[in-house]
Each structure stands twice: as structure tokens, then as C-alpha cells.
Amino acid sequence: MDTSITLLVLAAGMGSRYGGLKQLDPFGPSGETLMDYSVYDAIRTGFDRIVFVIRHDFEELFREKIGRKYAGRIAVDYAFQTLDDLPGNRTVPQERQKPWGTGQALYAARALIRGPFAVINADDFYGEASFRLLAAELRSMEPGKLASCMVGYRLENTLSDHGTVSRGICRTADGFLTSVAEHTKLARAGAVVRDTLPDGTTADFHPDQLVSMNCWGFSPEMFDELERLFADFLDARGQEIKSEFYIPSAADQLIREKKMCCRMLISPDRWFGVTYQEDRPVVTDGLRTLICSGRYPEQLFQEAE
């Protein structure tokens, strides 16, 4: 039985709130990106292949700055998120300029993945334990059956001190995810974390609430369901200029339809990432602490001689 597993890295976004292409920004002491730490952890936890979802307009830069570092260490492929990569004969509204979100980014990799795979964001740090949990779960998936898992993090540990953030709020039962709902304007508000909803009302959450940071595992059967859900989304909201098709929304729909069970994995590692430029010192200090404790080397990938 083939036990190979793939890591799919979503790296096509520009980081509008951050103000630049943060996927390529250095955060480690030897110029490492956050992606470098994810790839390093994936390699040492047994992943066999990396697929990056990027855009054509920075392909050359990405291959040079990122992809070449992994030559000889792990197999690397590229998928491309484009505005017009849509199911069926659906077309892009004339005013639309941005792609359709993380769900479409996942859809873009459908031709390259044939076995169990994990999905992460390029600009988040997940920690080695998350990859070990994912690798074990992916290898246990039954061939030919739709299956999934998700690594959850405490909401308090995923916030920024410099503005609101978007997180998938999770509900669980008996070790499985029962629902996940995207909340896009979360910020600390005293003893709670508060989201400002589109209608102006608010919703409060406990700081220990588990959230999705787009750290998922799926069997390849996910792609057929994703295409169906993406088509339904476009039929319902495709004419909205800024509508986005999110992975958590797709997973939530499949759970509610009882077509998929999603095992909830809880990482003991601390998550961190950069939503705003002001978040940089938190990330660099966090990485330095992990290096000083022996969790990571000073330089992840030595140049080949």
C-alpha cells in the first residue's frame, strides 16, 4: 500500500493587511521564511512531497527564493491559482480582480494530488507537533473514502495586538469537528475575544475557544466534493466582487451534509504568524526562543556544496 503523503502550501495570497508578499519575507536568523520552518517540519515528520500553490506573476521569484532550497531534500511541485480557474462553464465577473480564496487555492491543486495530503498557509508557523499529528492521521486514512482532520489552536494564541484577524471558530464533540464558522474581525475585548459581524452586532468567544488556522488533512476524495461546493458557491455568490470561498466553509458544509467526518487534533505547540507588519517582532522572538531551546537549528537548510 502506498503510504506517501503530501503537504500542500497555500502561497498565492499577497497579504493585503500586512502590506506585501510576506510569504517571501525572512523571519529566521539565517533568513528563513515561515514556509521554510513548515517544510523543515514536514520533512522530519515523514512527508514525501510539497506542492506550492502560487501565482504565475511571481513564479520565477518563488522558485529562486523558496523552491531551490529544497532540491534533493524533498520532491517539489507547483500549482497555480488563477482568477478564471472555475468549475464548469462559469465565467468571471468583469469587475472581479482577486481570486476566490483558500477554497479555490485548494481546488487549483486537484491535478497534482492523488493521495492523502495536508493543507497549510504559507505565512503561518504551526510547529513540529502539528505535522506529526497530521502525518499519523493521513497515513491511517482508508483508501477510497472521504476523510479529513484538522489541527486546532487556542483562539487567545492566534490574535494580533495590532488589529483584527480572521479565524474559523470550531465546535467539537467526542474528538470530531462538528462545525466551523469563519469570523473575520476578531480582537481582544477585556476577558473575551469579540467579533464584529457584518450587520454591526457582535459575538463574544472564550480565549480558550479552538480555532482553525487552515491546518487540515484530507483524503484525495475531497477534490470531487470541493468542485461541487465551489460550483454551488459561484452560482449563489459568484457575482459578488469580493466574495471568497473558504476551506473551513467547505469542510463545514460536508460535515453538516454528513458526507465527511473530521477528526479534531489539538497541537501542544504555539501558533504564530504575521497579519500586520507590527507582528514581526513577535514572530522573530518566538523563533529565536525555539532555536535557543534546541527545537530548531540556527540554519534550517545548509547550502549544497
Q: Is the pLDDT of residue 97 over 90?
A: no
d(CA 269, CA 266): 9
d(CA 36, CA 26): 9
Q: Identify which has the larger pLDDT, 11 or 275.
A: 11
Q: Decide: 208 and 202 in contact? Cβ < 8 Å.
A: no
> Per mean pLDDT, which range of 34-38, 51-55, 160-164 is the poorest?
160-164
Q: Is the pLDDT of residue 18 over 60?
A: no
Q: Is the pLDDT of residue 17 over 70?
A: no
Q: Which domains, ranges and CATH numbers included, belong to the chain?
A: 6-153+212-292 (3.90.550.10)
Task: Name the grid cell of 89.
Answer: 462553464
d(CA 104, CA 85): 8
Tell me what the mean pLDDT of segment 63-85 comes to: 91
Q: Helix 247-256 crosses helix 222-237 at what angle (to 10 degrees)?
A: 100
CA trace torsion 122, 127, 132, 134 (10° rounding): -40
Which residues are registered as beta bridge partners of 189? Answer: 192
pLDDT at 58: 86
Q: Identify which has the larger pLDDT, 304 or 54.
A: 54
Q: Is the pLDDT of residue 264 over 90?
A: yes
Q: How many CB atoms lie within 10 A of CB 280?
A: 14
Tell me what the mean pLDDT of segment 14-21 comes to: 54
Summarised one tens digit per residue, pLDDT across range 169-225 is: 999 999 999 998 889 899 999 999 999 998 989 999 999 999 988 899 999 999 999
**CB burial of residue 155 (10 Å; 0-12, 13-18, 19+):** buried
The CA R_g of the chain, rounded to the nearest whole Å, is 19
DSSP 131: H
| Maximum Cα interatomic distance, the chain, rounded to a whole number of Å | 59
Q: Is the pLDDT of residue 237 over 90?
A: yes
Task: Name the grid cell of 219.
Answer: 483524503
DSSP string, 46-82: T--EEEEEE-GGGHHHHHHHTGGGGTTTSEEEEEE--
Q: Decide: 231 and 91 in contact? Cβ < 8 Å.
A: no
Q: Helix 128-139 crosses helix 34-44 at what angle (to 10 degrees)?
A: 50
Question: What percentage of residues in the chain have a pLDDT greater than 70?
Answer: 95
pLDDT at 259: 95
Of 78, 82, 81, 58, the C-alpha closest to 70 is 78
pLDDT at 3: 72
Of 28, 225, 138, the C-alpha closest to 130 is 138
Q: Is the pLDDT of residue 305 over 50?
A: no
User: In a 3-state reduction of DSSP, which class is residue 32?
Assistant: coil
pTM across the whole model: 0.90
d(CA 177, CA 263): 6
- Most confident of the ranges 87-96, 155-164, 254-263: 254-263
Question: What percentage of residues in the chain have a pLDDT greater than 90?
Answer: 66
pLDDT bucket at 304, cuts 50 / 70 / 90? very low
Which residues are registered as beta bridge partners of 151? Answer: 265
Q: Is the pLDDT of residue 133 over 90?
A: yes
Tell me what the mean pLDDT of segment 124-146 comes to: 95
Q: Identify which has the larger pLDDT, 65 or 35.
A: 35
Average model confidence (pLDDT) for the chain? 90
pLDDT at 65: 83
Q: Is the pLDDT of residue 20 over 90?
A: no
Tell me what the mean pLDDT of segment 10-28 comes to: 71
